[in-house]
Chains A and B, each alone.
Chain A
Amino acid sequence: MRRIVLPGDLLSTNPKLAGHGTYVEGEKVYSRIIGLFEQTDNSIRVIPLKGKYNPSVGDTIIGIVREVTSNGWNVDINSPYQAFLPVSENPECKPGKKLNEILDIGDAIIAKVMSIDPRMRVTITMKDKVCRAIRFGRIVAINPARVPRVIGKKGSMIKLIKSELDVQIVVGQNGLIWLNGDRRKVAIAEEVVYLIEEEAHTEGLTDRVGEFIRRRKNVQTG
């Protein structure tokens, strides 16, 4: 079992190893967040257990349009910062079409983080094949720190959910997850997502999730 560490816990005396979730002061490496301590041969890092989403370039995210401006949209991405989607980054934009007819306040979108400036102004883009406006399905919100577990090692957890339940699923790095497909199966998938969130810090999660899905499916059919 990986050890849970708190801010200020001494992790190492070799500052060269310091990775994510750590900081160095006086040749010593300390944890700066609550998380799971992970050590490999050439790095130590702390995997966060709590905390807000902090955008980074290239992330796939799910956002909700909060404001329509003359040259784009302000999008809530479930982080301390609002993101901006410029008109030029939305392929649905065609001359003669009004902006609020393409995306209006309250619409959900799948987008990618394009750039972040030093003042944390986030620009997002929809020029990617996973990106689109969400008009159907269900969005589930979880703690962003637990997203890596929902994805699993190299996407193993998502693959499991997709193959067992035959639902469409897009996981935003910001903790919003889009589910689409048969209503009853989506309902199970939603429960599964919450289960993973709840037990993100435990081991052998994939097996337990597989068993859980099979049990739930039997209840519905039987």
Chain B
Amino acid sequence: MSRPDKFIINGKRLDGRLPDQLRPIKIEVGVLRRADGSCYIEMGKNKVVAAVYGPREAFPRHIQDPSKVVVRYRYNMAPFSVEERKRPGPDRRSIEISKVSKEAFEAIIMKELFPRSVVDIFVEVLQADAGSRTACINAASVALVDAGIPMKGMLTSVAVAKVDGVLVLDPMKEEDNFGEADMPFAFLIRGGKIESIALLQMDGRMTRAEIKVALNLAKKGAMEIYNLQREAIMKQFVEEGEENA
């Protein structure tokens, strides 16, 4: 992949989107039979599977916390998920993403309800195309709901990038690789409103004013994704209901 000369032509991005437009999203719930909760999501060319197990007995014993549940989050990229084969196993980047995502979820899971146990969240990136951590958080959030884990609300995540001096929502590969800045957000959504920011990262440069605009752009995108997440969870029940009628 080489750097495109221009990212925005006639107000449209390389893939024809407007700056404030998301990539197409597809969400499926309950895709894994043996997991307590699971979710498959496609955000543009990102393809991610999330599995949630638990709360279950924590092993090894020394990780148990007598007052609250332990959350484990594993972000992993398949070797075939990127153009150049990725060496399997955790690396610096995936350990960091796992850590920040885990902390985002720890803030919304009601941990004190299940002392001495563990909730395992596994997310596997099958195909990556920029913003895979946001896709992973969206998938994990749906999988947690599917597992029936008590939470304050739901997490919804989306990134904003800056290319050619323009802020764009949900960047794709080219915009992420060659852009001037990239800023993933995750929001806690409760009562149909954005309550707080659960995750915020950035690389590159943005001015203070740009960050404000980026935040609003991300909020708008997050609400769209949230509605899709809800729809996907509800769909399981509606379909079953129709079969009976």
Q: Please give the distance in Å from A98's CB to the nearest CB on chain B.
A: 28
Q: Please give the distance in Å from B190's CB to the nearest CB on chain A.
A: 4
Task: Tell me which of A4, A32, A119, A145 contacts B237 (CB under 8 A).
Answer: A4
**Max count, chain B CB within 10 A of own CB: residue among A7, A10, A54, A81:** A7
Which positions 52-78 of chain A face chain B at CB distance < 8 Å? Answer: 52, 54
Q: How big is the A interface, by class?
A: 20 to 34
Q: Is the CB of B55 within 8 A of A52?
A: yes
Expressed in whole angstroms, the Cα–Cα distance for A81 and B57 within the complex equals 6
Per the CB 8 Å criterion, the residue count for chain B at the interface is 35
Chain A interface main SS type: loop
Q: Is the CB of B190 within 8 A of A49?
A: no
Task: Tell me which of A10, A23, A54, A81 contacts B192 (CB under 8 A).
Answer: A10
Expressed in whole angstroms, the Cα–Cα distance for A33 and B152 within the complex equals 9
Partner-contacting stretch, out of A107-115, A129-137, A194-202: A194-202
Q: A30-B190, A202-B244 are in contact. Are A4 and B234 (CB under 8 A)?
A: yes
Expressed in whole angstroms, the Cα–Cα distance for A50 and B149 within the complex equals 8
Q: Is the CB of A10 within 8 A of B146?
A: no
> In this assembly, does A141 line the interface, its C-beta being within 8 Å of a C-beta of chain B?
no
> In this assembly, does A152 line the interface, its C-beta being within 8 Å of a C-beta of chain B?
no
> In this assembly, does B153 line the interface, its C-beta being within 8 Å of a C-beta of chain A?
yes
B residues less than 8 Å from A48 (CB atoms): 148
Which positions 113-157 of chain A face chain B at CB distance < 8 Å? Answer: 118-120, 145
> In this assembly, does B151 line the interface, its C-beta being within 8 Å of a C-beta of chain A?
yes
Q: Is the CB of A23 within 8 A of B230?
A: no
> In this assembly, does A80 line the interface, its C-beta being within 8 Å of a C-beta of chain B?
yes
Task: Tell me which of B54, B148, B241 contacts A145 (CB under 8 A).
Answer: B148
Instruction: Name which residue of chain B comes closest to A36, CB basis.
Output: B237
Q: Is the CB of A80 within 8 A of B56?
A: yes
A residues less than 8 Å from B149 (CB atoms): 33, 51
Instruction: Name which residue of chain B comes closest to A49, CB basis.
Output: B148
> In this assembly, does B219 line the interface, its C-beta being within 8 Å of a C-beta of chain A?
no
